[in-house]
């Protein structure tokens, strides 16, 4: 096979310039660039197209190249060595760390000619680590003389989701290649069509040819499932972990990259000396996009540059159609940008001695905002295309009615993120200005909304009733006294009840604290009098970013033990600034219930994708870090945070809240 020269125009982009580059190029630019990706020359598919092997291919036009196909150990017939799977090399321009004595530098220069090299002195071994960045043709020669690199040349195996014929062969490949991790990027069925044969038992054990597969346990997350498998053959056992991503839509690409980035971080943290198997259904589109993301993140970390175009060119030299569509190619750019924003932001609770400096935090925040701006631009382009085919006159009245229910016309939810109210007699439709904000490891139980308006107070209680809300947190409730758009939605301390349309809101108790009022309510509806919903409402006395106020409020919220199906609603005037701030903190704290690390830009990015007005300034972003650090400091005295928020002027604060 001949190497295909990459595009003559420079396609390598500095990490710091990537956000501006993506934002200033529209979808048509990426579509046109995608069309210029060349296909490799002089490749053959003879083995995969043979009559004996053709039935092992899920799709007749997706065949592995002969030069890069995975060879199984032949059993009875020569064709038994075939599986629709391809070895995939690392990177676009291959790069490698090579440890050689310093005196070898001259010899390397003579043999290979000029190259860019960064010397890193290794005092322990008294050797220099030469980081060499060469084009593929030179690196090909390097593999010949470096046996260790030759063994690690192929880091991935890209393969189709097995069909019935190739099912046992797939398990055999895992066994023979000593695979330790598998990434699955498809559902078993999509749109009533089989996309992948299930190659693990639902429970217990199952035999696949001569190999027994045992499911030992499973962990379920919002966007993916982790299955721990054990392969047994001839009394020898081999462990395999499968990471099954379940949030890639049946058609198109994800609307947001954050869930995939969180998944990529989980996979990238894996340590394995054997190839990582990645598959979707055909083993080219989603598979190529994910492998490209892993490769490009390695580039960003090692050289501070990314070359997305050349990476795809290189991948296609090992398997056809890797990154199959222009949509996947454009999405890959956004996913890379989001992944870079989060790549160095993971902090561990056991080692928080210093928070990142202001410049680092500001860079993080700007990177997140860059992703959000890119997503907004892409959505606007898509909406404009849809609007060309829509008769707007049909929606004028409906949109007018909905518009009246938005306090701020620029802050509105998307249909896919908002709670849909079920139809009831005498109601006003299914709309309320609210959004779900979810964590990556739990189903959504957090709702952010605006304070009820006179026209929406009934919809507010419909939301509480229909979605089994047990806790309300309200900011800026003093606005009821001066803002006519803010409606009273609960009885005052002196009142026994308040009637809101069909809902009767009963005052059970009312407590006053330094930072909030706590009210216990019971809600009944005329439509179902036998159902009584108990709700606790916290009215915050403050509306600012003061860490000393938010920490005890977080502690108070954590004292409420929500049942699995119960939800919490956060409210403020615009349904974003203060309600969103506290919700982000709650999401991070929820994460720490099961994890020992957290990634602020990951959560903030996912939240701003749903509600862009959340965390509107860098001050809000920085306050998230400070509040979280304070919370952890007060929750566990073993964690000592060295941060200006713990200066001597705040000694009283530490004393006051030491028992919360």
C-alpha closest to that of 356 among 598, 653, 52: 598
For the record, the structure tokens of 655 come out as 């004393």
Region label for 517, one of left (φ > 0), alpha (ψ between -120 and 50) or beta (otherwise): beta
How many angstroms separate the CA atoms of 125 and 226, rounded?
A: 39
Percentage of the residues of the chain whose pLDDT score is greater than 70: 80
Contact 26, 333 (CB under 8 A): no
3-state SS assignment for residue 249: coil
For the record, the structure tokens of 205 come out as 């054990």
How many angstroms separate the CA atoms of 322 and 312, rounded?
A: 7
What are the residues facing 205 on neighbouring strands?
214
How many angstroms separate the CA atoms of 287 and 199, rounded?
A: 18
- Kindly report, residue by residue over 367-406, the tens digit of the pLDDT: 999 999 999 888 777 666 555 555 554 444 446 567 899 9
- In the chain, % helix, strand, coil (3-state, to 5) comes to 35, 25, 40
How does residue 355 score in pLDDT terms, banded at 50, 70 and 90?
confident
How many angstroms separate the CA atoms of 117 and 105, rounded?
A: 10
Q: Please compute the mean of the pLDDT values over residues 117-139 and round it to a whole number.
A: 42
Are the folds of 33-94+137-321 and 359-370+410-656 the same? yes
How many angstroms separate the CA atoms of 637 and 614, rounded?
A: 31
Distances (CA, A) of 170 to 188, 209, 535, 564, 652: 15, 10, 52, 38, 64
Region label for 209, one of left (φ > 0), alpha (ψ between -120 and 50) or beta (otherwise): left
How many angstroms separate the CA atoms of 456 and 487, rounded?
A: 8
* Residue 40 predicted with pLDDT over 50: yes
> How many residues comprise the chain?
660
- Kindly report, residue by residue over 63-95, the tens digit of the pLDDT: 999 999 999 998 888 778 999 999 998 754 434
State the DSSP string of 562-595.
--TT-EEEEEESSSSHHHHHHHHHHHHHHHTTT-
How do the domains of the chain map onto residue ranges?
33-94+137-321, 95-133, 359-370+410-656
Distances (CA, A) of 390 to 27, 393, 398, 399, 554: 21, 9, 14, 14, 46
For the record, the structure tokens of 170 come out as 């797939």
Chain-centroid distance, C-alpha 197: 26
**Number of other residues whose CB lies within 10 A of the CB of residue 508:** 13
Residue 257 pLDDT: 96
Give the lowest-confidence range in 98-112, 376-390, 508-522. 98-112
Helix (H) or strand (E) holding 100: strand 95-100
Contact 347, 597 (CB under 8 A): yes
How does residue 120 score in pLDDT terms, banded at 50, 70 and 90?
very low
For the record, the structure tokens of 280 come out as 């979707």
3-state SS assignment for residue 606: helix
* Residue 619 predicted with pLDDT over 90: yes
- Kindly report, residue by residue over 526-572, the tens digit of the pLDDT: 888 788 999 999 999 999 999 999 999 999 999 998 888 899 999 99
How does residue 643 score in pLDDT terms, banded at 50, 70 and 90?
very low
Residue 637 pLDDT: 46
What string of H, E and C letters represents the secondary structure of 182-232? EEECCCCEECCEECCCCCCCCCCEEEECCEEEEEEEEEECCCEEEEEEEEE
What are the residues facing 85 on neighbouring strands?
159
**Phi and psi dihedrals of 113, rounded to 5?**
85, -160
Torsion of CA 544, 588, 522, 504, to 10 degrees: 60
| Topology (CATH level 3) of domain 359-370+410-656 | 3.90.190
How many angstroms separate the CA atoms of 300 and 18, rounded?
A: 11
For the record, the structure tokens of 495 come out as 């009142």
Q: Does domain 33-94+137-321 have CATH number 3.90.190.10?
A: yes
Mean pLDDT score of the chain: 85
3-state SS assignment for residue 82: strand
How many angstroms separate the CA atoms of 189 and 654, rounded?
A: 55
Torsion of CA 280, 285, 288, 290, to 10 degrees: -70
Q: Which residue has the tokens 């609960």?
A: 490
Strands (DSSP E) contained in 254-328 are 276-279, 305-306
Chain-centroid distance, C-alpha 146: 37
Contact 329, 34 (CB under 8 A): yes
How does residue 298 score in pLDDT terms, banded at 50, 70 and 90?
very high
- pTM for the whole structure: 0.84
- Name, in order, each residue with C-beta under 8 angstroms of 444's C-beta and a sequence gap of 6 or more: 222, 436, 437, 438
| Cα dihedral sign, 127-117-299-3 | negative
**Phi and psi dihedrals of 486, rounded to 5?**
-100, 120
How many angstroms separate the CA atoms of 246 and 442, rounded?
A: 14
Q: Please compute the mean of the pLDDT values over residues 475-487 and round it to a whole number.
A: 90
Q: Which residue has the tokens 């290979």?
A: 112
Distances (CA, A) of 156 to 183, 273, 278, 348, 607: 10, 11, 7, 29, 32
What string of H, E and C letters represents the secondary structure of 156-171? EEEECCCCCCCHHHHH
Torsion of CA 51, 56, 59, 60, to 10 degrees: -10
How many angstroms separate the CA atoms of 10 and 14, rounded?
A: 11
Instruction: Indicate which residues carry an active-site annotation.
Output: 280
C-alpha closest to that of 415 among 394, 428, 429: 429
- Kindly report, residue by residue over 398-449, the tens digit of the pLDDT: 465 678 999 999 999 999 999 999 887 666 789 999 999 988 766 789 999 9
């Amino acid at each position: 096979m001949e190497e295909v020269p990459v595009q003559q125009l420079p396609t390598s982009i500095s990490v710091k310039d990537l956000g501006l580059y993506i934002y200033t190029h529209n979808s048509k630019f990426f579509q046109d660039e995608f069309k210029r990706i060349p296909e490799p020359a002089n490749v053959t598919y003879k083995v995969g197209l043979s009559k004996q092997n053709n039935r092992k291919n899920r799709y007749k036009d997706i065949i592995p190249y002969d030069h890069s196909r995975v060879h199984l150990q032949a059993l009875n017939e020569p064709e038994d060595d075939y599986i629709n799977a391809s070895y995939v090399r690392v990177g676009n321009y291959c790069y490698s760390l090579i440890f050689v004595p310093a005196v070898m530098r001259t010899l390397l220069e003579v043999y290979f000619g000029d190259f860019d090299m960064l010397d890193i002195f290794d005092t322990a071994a008294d050797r220099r680590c030469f980081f060499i960045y060469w084009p593929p043709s030179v690196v090909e020669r390097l593999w010949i003389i470096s046996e260790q690199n030759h063994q690690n040349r192929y880091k991935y195996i890209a393969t189709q989701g097995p069909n019935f014929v190739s099912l046992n062969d797939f398990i055999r490949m895992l066994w023979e290649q000593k695979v330790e991790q598998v990434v699955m990027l498809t559902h078993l069925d999509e749109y009533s069509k089989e996309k992948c044969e299930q190659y693990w038992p639902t429970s217990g054990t199952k035999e696949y040819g001569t190999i027994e597969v045992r499911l030992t346990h499973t962990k379920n997350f919002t966007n993916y499932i982790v299955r721990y498998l054990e392969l047994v053959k001839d009394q020898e056992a081999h462990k395999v972990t499968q990471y099954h991503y379940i949030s890639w839509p049946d058609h198109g690409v994800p609307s947001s990259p954050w869930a995939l980035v969180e998944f990529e971080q989980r996979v990238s943290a894996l340590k394995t000396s054997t190839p990582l198997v990645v598959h979707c259904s055909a083993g080219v589109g989603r598979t190529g996009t994910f492998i490209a993301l892993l490769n490009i993140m390695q580039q960003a970390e090692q050289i501070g540059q990314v070359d997305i175009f050349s990476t795809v060119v290189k991948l296609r030299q090992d398997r056809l159609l890797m990154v199959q569509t222009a949509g996947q190619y454009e999405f890959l750019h956004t996913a890379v940008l989001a992944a870079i924003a989060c790549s160095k932001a993971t902090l561990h609770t056991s080692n928080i001695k210093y928070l990142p400096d202001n410049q680092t935090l500001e860079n993080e925040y700007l990177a997140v905002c860059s992703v959000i701006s890119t997503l907004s631009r892409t959505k606007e382009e898509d909406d404009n295309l849809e609007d060309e085919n829509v008769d707007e006159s049909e929606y004028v009245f409906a949109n007018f009615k909905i518009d009246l229910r938005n306090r701020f016309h620029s802050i509105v939810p998307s249909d896919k993120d908002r709670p849909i109210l079920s139809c009831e007699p005498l109601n006003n439709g299914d709309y309320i200005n609210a959004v779900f904000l979810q964590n990556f490891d739990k189903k959504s139980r957090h709702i952010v909304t605006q304070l009820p308006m006179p026209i929406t107070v009934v919809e507010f209680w419909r939301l509480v009733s229909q979605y089994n809300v047990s806790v309300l947190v309200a900011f800026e409730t003093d606005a009821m006294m001066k803002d006519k758009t803010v409606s009273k939605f609960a009885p005052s301390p002196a009142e026994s009840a308040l009637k809101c349309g069909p809902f009767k809101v009963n005052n059970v108790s009312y407590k006053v604290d330094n930072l909030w009022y706590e009210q216990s309510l019971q809600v009944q509806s005329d439509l179902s009098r036998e159902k009584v919903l108990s709700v606790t409402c916290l009215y915050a006395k403050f509306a600012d970013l003061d860490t000393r106020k938010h920490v005890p409020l977080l502690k108070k919220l954590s004292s409420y033990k929500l049942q699995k199906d119960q939800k919490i609603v956060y409210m403020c005037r615009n349904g974003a600034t203060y309600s969103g701030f506290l919700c982000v903190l709650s999401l991070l704290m929820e994460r720490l219930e099961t994890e020992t690390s957290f990634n602020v830009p990951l959560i903030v990015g996912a939240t701003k994708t749903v509600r862009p007005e959340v965390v509107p300034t860098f001050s809000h972003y920085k306050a998230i870090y400070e509040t979280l650090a304070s919370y952890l400091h007060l929750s566990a005295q073993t964690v000592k945070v060295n941060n200006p928020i713990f200066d001597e002027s705040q000694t009283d604060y530490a004393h006051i809240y030491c028992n919360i």
